Amino acid sequence: MSELPPHAAVLLLAWGTLVALDLVSVPQAMIARPVVAGAVAGWIAGDLDAGLRVGVLFELFALDVLPAGAVRYPDYGPATVVAAVLAANAPWQYAVGISAALGLVLAILGGLTLQLVRRANARAIQQRAAALAAGEGGAIRRLQYGGLLRDALRGTALTALGLAAAWAISEYSRLERATALGLTLVAVGCALSAAIGGALRSAGRGARLRWLGAGLVVGLVLAVLA
């Protein structure tokens, strides 16, 4: 992580907030997908390639998640933004592992804060129960804007905390190269296992499993040829 100019830090904070909002609240345009969040964060931090390396890594983790119904899951968006910044402007082989470690902790924290926002939404609805029962459109609008504001604040706080942690790590942690490389390889291995595990779970035993197998063969051939 190189020194961030103030405008880049502000842009990253704004991007982290948008990405956090996109996960559930609005607009679910998939900018919260790690591959998008990481690429843009890396570009803002001046290193698109680092953003892509980190974004792809977290995207593999995210492929393990099926956010159906009321399931609880990590929030990889702001986590990827912060991890991409920490990995920027350094050789990726040594930077991605420590960035992934920070990002995974932030992703868990992000998932927990999402629960807090949901509980706060429920409390706000209970407080306006009488207005809702009376059919007041203004109460619905206020609840909606309040919910969006809470989620935006969550994203801003999460990104700010993550950026502060990334700065502290880059200032004070001195990993030797072998350990840094080992961390990267372990993170890549774990990410691959998450994607394969998620794909196997989704595939079940039907036609999709056969298509998954066919895809793996095609991917292997392309990887050898590329």
Partner 1 sequence: MNGGWRAFLRLFAVQGTWNYERMLGVGMGYAAEPLLDDLKSIDPVRHTEAVVRSAEFFNCNPNLAGLALGATVRAEYEAVPGAQIARLRTALCSPLGSLGDQLFWAGLIPAMVGLALAAIALGARWWAVLGFLVLYNLARGFTGIWALRTGYDSGMKVGAAIARSWIPAAIERVGPAAGFAVGVAVPLVAAWYLRDIGAAGALGTLAVAVTGVLVSRWYGAALTAVRFALVAILLLVLFRGIFP
Which of the residues 49 through 78 are near partner 1 (CB under 8 A)?
49, 52-53, 56, 59-64, 66-70, 74
Query: Rounded CA gap, 182 and 56, in Å?
Result: 18
Minimum distance from CB of 46 to partner 1 (Å)? 15
Which part of the chain contacts partner 1 (CB under 8 A), choosing from 9-17, 153-161, 163-171, 208-216?
A: 208-216
Q: Does 130 bind partner 1 (CB under 8 A)?
A: no
Q: Hey, what amino acid is at 110?
A: G
Q: How far apart are CA 64 and CA 26, in angstroms?
A: 22
Number of residues that bind partner 1 (CB under 8 A): 99
Which of 133, 171, 172, 205: binder of partner 1 (CB under 8 A)?
Answer: 133
Among 8, 121, 153, 169, binds partner 1 (CB under 8 A): 121
Q: Quote the CA–CA distance of 82 and 63 in Å, as a whole number.
A: 19
Q: Which of 8, 11, 31, 161 binds partner 1 (CB under 8 A)?
A: 31
- Stretch 141-170 residues interacting with partner 1 (CB under 8 A): 141, 143-144, 146-148, 151
CB 104 within 8 Å of CB 188: no
Cα–Cα distance list, 217 to 47, 61, 152, 160, 170 (Å): 33, 21, 43, 42, 40
| Shortest separation between residue 68's beta carbon and partner 1, angstroms | 4
Residue 89 in contact with partner 1, rule: CB under 8 A: no
Instruction: Count the Cβ atoms, other than its own, within 10 Å of residue 110.
Output: 24
Number of H-type helices and E-type strands within the chain: 9, 0
With CA atoms as reference, report the closest residue to 201 among 191, 213, 209: 209
- Which of residues 2 and 115 has its CB atom nearest to partner 1 in the complex? 115
Q: In whole angstroms, how close is the CB of 1 to partner 1 at the nearest point?
A: 18
Contact call for residues 148 and 18 (beta carbons, < 8 A)? no
Closest distance of CB 194 from partner 1, Å: 3
Stretch that binds partner 1, among 2-10, 12-20, 160-168, 191-199 (CB under 8 A): 191-199
